[in-house]
Structure 1
Amino acid sequence: MAAGFLTFVALNFACLCVSGNLASGKRSFSIDYKNNCFLKDDQPFQYISGSIHYSRIPQYYWKDRLLKMYMTGLNAVQVYVPWNFHEGAQGVYNFTGDRDLEHFLNLANQTGLLVILRPGPYICAEWEMGGLPAWLLQKPNIILRSADTDYLQAVSNWFAVLLPKIKPWLYINGGNIISVQVENEYGSYYACDYNYMRHLQTLFRFFLGEDTVLFTTDGNTDKEMTCGTLEGLYATVDFGTDTNISEAFKRQRRFEPRGPLVNSEFYTGWLDHWGDQHARVTTEKVSKVLGEMLTMGANVNMYMFEGGTNFGYWNGADHDRRFRSVVTSYDYDAPLSEAGDPTEKLLAIRDVIKQFRDIPAGPMPPATPKFAYGFVTLKKVGSVSALLSTLSPMGPVQSHYPLTFEEMKQYYGYMLYRTTLPRDLSEPTPLISPLNGVHDRAYVSVNGVYQGLLQRDTALVMNVTGHQGDTVDILVENMGRVNFGSKINDYKGLLSNLILGKDVLTDWKIYSLDIDGAITGGWPHSARKQSNPPMKKELSFGPNLYMGTFPPNGLSWDTFLKLNEWTKGQVWINGMNLGRYWPARGPQQTLYVPGPLLSSNQPNNITVLELEGAPAHLRVLFMDRPQLNATTDKS
């Protein structure tokens, strides 16, 4: 061991050896600056925690995952609260079903797990817009994560709803929340607005009281720690397996000379973008670094312990050199798999924890059962353009120039822009997005014939042909808003004009598509007559909807859906949006299907929106294992 590492062990191990005051009978959780540790009920306390996102796991499985974490030897879990998951429309709140935060806290409490809560308002988390609701963007000049008046008012209104729900769950009030994070990795944001952080601190203190341990988390650089920390908020750091531990904690010590060492995000894996190789962090690295940190007396939260799934449209995106969308799976190479199965990494982590604290007796709960339901053949329902009366029952909004998703007050999914060709185009003519205004992918058809796509940052020109007056349909897909960095003001749709040759396209009919609403209502399976248009070859390309069923077999077990030779799109099963598929881009090849979603005694309905081109066989396959690491195309 390096001399620096041994010095840190000596300086911080004292906390584990100091006996606290006699318990007064009153529950307490605080920071002991003298002995460099946390105190729980006046006794020295070290937490070994794991991150779990209730928003990425069906409620039915919350207890199963929490129990597995407890049996690994964790004494705490770390939890994000995604604002947009609970306030999808301004002033309309949802804390029911899979959004029942208090039920999740109660299950953790019953399991014996403390909670480190991260309520934002911004959370990053590779989640859509970092957890911020897209309706904030209706204010076109809003400066997110700053002391901007409109933003602060929205945050204050949200916290006035959320934080009173949290207060009874604080450990000092008889619950299990031991500490609460203020904002999230704020030092990585360009604004560096201390007035904003002071405003948040005031809100947290007002609603949660003066005795609550509030903390910040920032990356392991001086700049991030400088802009992300604030007096009165305990400064913690995050880092992974390739970081020099003693150097990272020295940096925390520069901002917090006394108190416990804390790694709030120790990375057990990493995220995937479409086109990446599937990320891996070796079990050996995780075990080694975890053991070293625990030896130092540090408090560690493993991010992630189970990642779960970006169901629906909840995946985020990054934008460094270009826009890159996060895949549907949030497996994260975590100790518990996307489906909540114990892995070799989990068992190795348990062996490390055994060296530092007693772990619960008894076996690790097993993996949930899986079943390969086999092939299901789908049939075509129709093209999106032909189904607008069902998918957009309110009809179009007419506008001379394109409107964004935010202006239309449709924040997620898909929107269709329709106009006509201004003149004959006998030769291929360029359709151009001159200001890179397609956010994020636009699927272009003329008179129902698919002609190609425009894509943000990478495909700003395509050619079209046709005759004057032909209908031009442009289906625009929101691939998830940027969740990190300076570009989180991520508007969607057609943000600027499209130019066809020398003509600016105008006079648009814009259709908000409520595909989810139609499918949740039972369509297309409940429709008396299915639309079966003549099957010309070209109609297999472009945005089309497909449907199928598979019969019950007495089981409702987890399974994995593979869309071999399908191109890109979205899948719903029994009304639930499983998320995006894109096997041609990879690395993810299968979608996780939670067993409780399936019926054991009724037909199960599948609906697929294929955006580019379906295979001739129209088959999908239900497998008993995932495939997350087969990148086939990086274009």
Structure 2
Amino acid sequence: MAKKEALTTTRMLLVLTFLISLFSLSMCGNTSFSIDYNGNTFVLDGKPFRAISGSLHYSRVHPYYWHDRLLKMVAGGLNTVQTYVPWNIHEPKEGEYNFKGLADIELFLQTAQEVGIKVLLRSGPYICGEWEYGGLPAWLLSIDPNMIVRTMDPGYIAAVDKWFDVLMPLLKKYLHENGGPILMVQIENEYGSYFACDFDYLRFLYKKARGILGETAIIYTTDGDSRGDVKCGSIEACFVTIDFGPSNNPVANFAVQRQFQPQGPLMNSEFYTGWLDHWGNPHAHTNLDTVCKSLDKILALGANVNMYMYEGGTNFGYWNGANAPPYQPVPTSYDYDAPLNETGDITDKYIAIRQTISKYQKLPEIPIPPNTPKGKYGTTQMNFVSTIQDALDVVSPDKPVYSTYPLTMEQIRFYYGFILYRTKLPRDINQLTPLLTKGVRDRGYVMVDQVPQGIFIRDDVIQVNITGKQGQMLDILVENTGRIGFATLMNYNVKGLTENITLDGEILTGWNIYPISLENINSSIISTRQGSGPKLNNGLLTPSIYMGKVPIPTSDPEPKDTFLDMRPWVKGQAFVNGFNVGRYWPKMGPQVTLYVPKPALVSPSLPNYLVMFELENTSCPPSQPCNVIFTDKPFINAIPAGSSFSVREIKEGYNWNLRV
């Protein structure tokens, strides 16, 4: 059976299972979930309940693997999973809703119901999570680039109101009291860490959620374990929870919760099992013993706990976020040094946490599911297809947007990935002449008639010196490397060129602006494309498209998870059979390999296509093809060291210049 048909059948079976469970519950009596404030405990169907939970974001794990991951959580001693709802993946364009694929929240909830794990649902509208724009849709910036999000800003509130009218009725069906797996619904996230402290906004969210979810649904907030955070992030109507990482004294941490909520269950909604990564920084690592000792102390207090993350997963596509200041984008891997690694495999931390939990409750009598098999498929040749300019008819098939001055992505209602700005040189530039801008978000590749001149870099490189002749094409390809998703700087989060470009002090005008949709590339287009080849200058190649085939042996009955070893490529985006695997930047590190989940591949009897959009260079001569390796092991811990970094496990045959 084809993979798509299998997933459709699976969904139908899950829906049937869910409906049967609803009928069974209705026959057995009422279900309920409540808080016994005097007893300092949750109550599930009349019995005391303690949530031992882990975070898994459905949007960061392929739906094919949701059942596997949730079952591993149950086998690890967890009774609850916590997940975010990223508004932007569900409403990528205003009024256009998406509940398929990575956004199929109903399938995720049905899968949780089938596995037998409860759900803590974090509804947003803001989620943070190192996700693009903290989960907010970028089209908000098309309404008003100066919108102050997460406040009673009229434009923001109107958009949230419409979104909650879509989301909350969906969630209501899956509340525990209605036979579903959702125990509680969180509004906002760590609001006390935001500057606004807008209680009218929190009350609006609460009233909206309460009006749709009903009077008995538990609505909660989460904030850091400081008095100031909880003061600005909570309201009396909501159940208050806090978050903190490994601690020698959780009693002191929970004392903050008690200041605002004298009675009721103690709850740490984000107990950090690891930490996030940024490009150019070392891969995060949290000591296993430290995590388990602190978890032991939390459980000994009788507290509820959610481990963030239990599996981190992957920022597929363009969904990684960023932090600032300074501006730091998050890699494609969201491994988080979690108990289940990026690919859902068991780690030593998983086993140790499981043993810690076993001291406080009996583990389920089910085997731990095995790790998914991995494919070591070897080397494939990547053939040049086209420069980005020669493929504009494919990647930007509509007419370009014309403007006297540069427009941002949001002004032309294009939000993710890449955008190309084009004008003509107004005169001969025989000597190196400064091209200047302070407004590039986030990297701008400057070319004259496709010849690379240099790179604008946000908050760093604002000048590129160029030469050229009057009438030659000046192109600036801008990459949006992820919107800031935390604190005050997430406002004015626009992308592209945000200020004018000057040439030796003269403002350049007359721009054609091309939104770049790499998803339009397919094998039939590639096979007929005959580009002129990239130009090499200043150590840079013209941003170009390359294609190869995944060398899966035809004798294999089915494909396996695999990893793209991106050495010796520099920076870009990778697609497998049209699935946007994510960004690569191996020389910056710490991530070197890209995870390719099995369901992104098709039967080995059919061709599996890898398409790469390389922005900067390869270590291969322009006239020769470059290779990429499909391996069975992840490598996400290259070690940056100042302006250079060393790499563990460099394979023989690679010739790396590691200075960046």
If the TM-score is normalised by the length of the shorter chain, which range does it land in? Answer: over 0.9
Question: Where in structure 2 are there 5+ consecutive unaligned residues?
Answer: 1-27, 645-659
Distance 1:264 1:47 in 2: 10
8 Å CA contact 1:389–1:395 kept in 2: the answer is: no
Residue matched to 1:364 = 368
Deviation at 1:30, TM superposition (A): 1.1
Residue matched to 1:10 = none
Residue matched to 1:20 = none
8 Å CA contact 2:380–2:551 kept in 1: the answer is: no
- Equivalent runs, 1:331-342 vs 2, <5 Å: 331-342=335-346
- Equivalent runs, 1:60-139 vs 2, <5 Å: 60-138=64-142, 139=144
Deviation at 1:536, TM superposition (A): 5.7
Residue matched to 2:388 = 384
8 Å CA contact 1:335–1:346 kept in 2: the answer is: yes
Deviation at 1:396, TM superposition (A): 1.1
- In structure 1, give the amino acid aligned to 2:619: P
Query: CA 1:506/1:179 → structure 2, altered by over 3 Å: closer, same or farther?
Result: same
Which residue of 615, 619, 622 maps to 2:627? 619
Query: CA 1:244/1:426 → structure 2, altered by over 3 Å: closer, same or farther?
Result: farther
Residue matched to 1:246 = 251
Residue matched to 1:301 = 306
Does 1:314 pair with 2:319?
yes
* Aligned-pair Cα RMSD in Å: 1.5
Residue matched to 1:574 = 577
8 Å CA contact 1:310–1:328 kept in 2: the answer is: yes
Which residue of 151, 157, 162 maps to 1:157? 162
Query: CA 1:455/1:534 → structure 2, altered by over 3 Å: closer, same or farther?
Result: closer
Which residue of 596, 607, 628 maps to 1:603? 607
Does 1:529 pair with 2:561?
no
Distance 1:475 1:395 in 2: 17
8 Å CA contact 1:588–1:631 kept in 2: the answer is: no
8 Å CA contact 1:218–1:236 kept in 2: the answer is: yes
Residue matched to 1:212 = 217
Query: CA 1:184/1:278 → structure 2, altered by over 3 Å: closer, same or farther?
Result: same
Deviation at 1:26, TM superposition (A): 2.4
Distance 2:146 2:454 in 1: 33
Distance 1:557 1:536 in 2: 37
Residue matched to 1:556 = 559
- Equivalent runs, 1:360-439 vs 2, <5 Å: 360-433=364-437, 436-439=438-441
Does 1:225 pair with 2:233?
no
Q: Per the alignment, in what secondary structure is the counterpart of residue 487 of structure 1?
A: helix
Distance 1:427 1:598 in 2: 50
Deviation at 1:75, TM superposition (A): 0.5
Distance 2:485 2:552 in 1: 39
Distance 1:536 1:260 in 2: 64
Residue matched to 1:487 = 489
Deviates more, 1:107-116 or 1:382-391: 382-391
Deviation at 1:142, TM superposition (A): 1.7
Deviation at 1:540, TM superposition (A): 6.9
- In structure 1, give the amino acid aligned to 2:586: P
Deviation at 1:25, TM superposition (A): 4.3
- Relative to the length of structure 1, the TM-score reads 0.93
Residue matched to 1:543 = 543
Q: Give the length in aligned residue pairs.
A: 605
Q: Per the alignment, in what secondary structure is the counterpart of residue 490 of structure 2?
A: coil
Distance 1:535 1:272 in 2: 32
Q: Per the alignment, in what secondary structure is the counterpart of residue 378 of structure 1?
A: strand
Deviation string 1:74-124 (CA, Å, 9 cap, x unpaired) is 000001110011111111111123321111111111111010000101000
- In structure 2, give the amino acid aligned to 1:239: F
Residue matched to 1:277 = 282
Q: Per the alignment, in what secondary structure is the counterpart of residue 608 of structure 1?
A: strand
8 Å CA contact 1:317–1:324 kept in 2: the answer is: yes
Distance 1:25 1:470 in 2: 76
Residue matched to 2:30 = 26
Distance 1:496 1:543 in 2: 23
Does 1:201 pair with 2:206?
yes
Distance 2:464 2:248 in 1: 45
Distance 1:601 1:534 in 2: 31
Question: Where in structure 1 are there 5+ consecutive unaligned residues?
Answer: 1-23
Deviation at 1:526, TM superposition (A): 4.2
Residue matched to 2:3 = none
Does 1:454 pair with 2:456?
yes
Query: CA 1:167/1:425 → structure 2, altered by over 3 Å: closer, same or farther?
Result: same
8 Å CA contact 1:567–1:582 kept in 2: the answer is: yes
Which residue of 286, 291, 294 maps to 2:296? 291
Q: Per the alignment, in what secondary structure is the counterpart of residue 205 of structure 1?
A: helix
Deviation string 1:454-480 (CA, Å, 9 cap, x unpaired) is 010111112111122221000000001
Which residue of 580, 584, 589 maps to 2:587? 584
Distance 1:121 1:429 in 2: 46
Deviation at 1:42, TM superposition (A): 2.3
Q: Which stretches of structure 1, 4 residues or longer, exceed 6 Å deviation after superposition?
A: none
- In structure 1, give the amino acid aligned to 2:487: G
Deviates more, 1:616-625 or 1:274-283: 616-625
8 Å CA contact 1:551–1:602 kept in 2: the answer is: no
Deviation at 1:414, TM superposition (A): 0.4
Query: CA 1:468/1:501 → structure 2, altered by over 3 Å: closer, same or farther?
Result: same
Query: CA 1:200/1:506 → structure 2, altered by over 3 Å: closer, same or farther?
Result: same
Deviation string 1:421-441 (CA, Å, 9 cap, x unpaired) is 2222222111111xx310000
- In structure 2, give the amino acid aligned to 1:50: G
Distance 1:43 1:375 in 2: 57
Residue matched to 1:628 = 636
- Relative to the length of structure 2, the TM-score reads 0.90
Deviation at 1:542, TM superposition (A): 2.7
Distance 2:157 2:248 in 1: 36
8 Å CA contact 1:214–1:233 kept in 2: the answer is: yes
Q: Per the alignment, in what secondary structure is the counterpart of residue 633 of structure 2?
A: coil
Distance 2:531 2:412 in 1: 31
- In structure 1, give the amino acid aligned to 2:629: L
Deviation string 1:489-538 (CA, Å, 9 cap, x unpaired) is 3100000101111211111111111111x12xx24x44452314256655
Distance 1:496 1:404 in 2: 9
Residue matched to 2:443 = 441
Which residue of 171, 175, 181 maps to 1:166? 171
Deviates more, 1:415-424 or 1:332-341: 415-424
Distance 1:402 1:329 in 2: 33
Deviation string 1:111-142 (CA, Å, 9 cap, x unpaired) is 11010000101000110000000001112332
Distance 2:248 2:479 in 1: 38
Deviates more, 1:407-416 or 1:464-473: 464-473
